[in-house]
Chains A and B, each alone.
Chain A
């Protein structure tokens, strides 16, 4: 019985580690997702700058 409990505890710790690794990977993916949005903002801002520059040049 005690042995079984130890086995179960061991398994649960492994499962915990698996999901800890999972969360870490998700963190990396989350960073990539943030970068996608950040890049889009940069491109949009770039378009704004280009637009303003064009307006200035047109003056």
Chain B
């Protein structure tokens, strides 16, 4: 006979880890429940049959021309009352039986059994202290948890646990399932990490692509979920997924097979996740002029997307502490999502896209902002897609592609010569009057590498002035961008600017410890200068 007690938190934690055995009593409880359920069902069936038969009689009488309508109505009401009474009797009997068989109401954190002996069943996810340990002493357990000893093949896995519901399926885990059952909890942590990364990458992709249409946002989220979730953080599959994504794009058109192949090549050869995003973006935009991109690269490497300073290996190998970190990050992500327009289309925060034509292609941020300020939502929704906006979109895509090309040229060392000057000139002319944050950042990136620091600062200043007012650029992402800029300044030799950018990053988002971009910027600075208290003190 088990006992019920409330225990201290440490004991609860210990109980969670304790192996739990399936006792004969537990198995018999299932039989008891089935027996009780049989009796319950029989009583219910009988009541159903009786009420159906009597109601049929009343219906038949009602058709008799001599039956008074009032009499029929009264009889119907009386029958209904009696039916309710019968069901009440059954419910009472069921509750009484549950009480006899051991149904208990337990608060979260309590347990049945003895954790010291490793026989405890912990009560988890008990809402308001009212766990409906509904049937025969079953516990409410989270999905994926188990009772029993998987090594002995006697575990009972919880398939679909809902709060307060009995969900122990009674499934006996086979040998080949034991390991997976045993690691169910770990897997759930991995899924958390995958979800986190998928969400983060989707956010970045949405941000980088200036997507404001909620449908496209949701589609983007879905795409990244398909890439990351379920892969066990195995980035070896990243490339495969890139291929799969491109295959899907090819199916949808309008890219030709050749174009799709080139998109795959770009994804494979990406040195940064932006390149992958750009490849997909090009495909989504239906831009057949893919040859405009520089696809000829000898190196074939797929960089693992940065995960806030965590490598995938660290995430996978991390224990609870690591998971806590991920969960904290998840919390931060949730906060971030709340700040930003909801990219999954939730209705609490009105997304910018609601103020733009739903059927139109994504707009440059600056244009979208103007709509928010100047156009009433209802009017904006009614705004038809015009040739002008399409042209703007094409121009935007072309500009991004062109900047990408120029960046690659600069990256390949074409600086400090005639071609370098031409590049700077073209970037400057291209961005004249442009208020798009991303393009300005692109331009700054390019001209920093050509050591045109003043020009870069001008671009950065304009970008900052036009930073998304609705918060699409979150403080963390903004800080990461500042880190990137800092690194670029440092590598290009402008250490004061590098320091200023890093200071700005820390001021914007202080929790940058462990962030890859931050660390890279610090490293770039520290190579050139004596350690800076600002950096190593990590304000």
Contacts and interface: CB of A to CB of B under 8 A. Distances in A.
Contacts of B35: 12, 15
Interface string B93-121: 10011001110000000000000000000
Interface in A1-55: 1, 4-5, 7-8, 11-12, 14-16, 18-19, 21-23, 25-26, 29-30, 32-34, 36-37, 39-41, 43-45, 47-48, 51
Nearest to B79: A36
A26 B46 contact: yes
Given A4-B1, A8-B25, A18 B90 contact: no
A39 B50 CA distance: 17
B43 interface: yes
Interface residues of A, number: 33
Interface of B: 1, 24-25, 28-29, 32, 35-36, 39-40, 42-43, 46-47, 50-51, 54, 57-58, 61, 64, 66-68, 71-72, 75, 78-79, 82-83, 85-86, 89-90, 92-93, 96-97, 100-102
B56 to A, nearest CB: 10
A37 to B, nearest CB: 5
Given A14-B100, A19-B40, A33-B50, A44 B61 contact: yes
A19 B39 CA distance: 7
Contact of A11 (B75, B86, B101): B101
Contact of B1 (A7, A33, A36): A7
Main secondary structure on A side of the interface with B: helix
A37 B85 contact: no
B2 to A, nearest CB: 10
A29 B54 contact: no
Contacts of A36: 54, 75, 78-79, 82
Given A29-B86, A47-B66, A40 B43 contact: no
Given A26-B90, A34-B54, A1 B100 contact: no
B90 A22 contact: yes
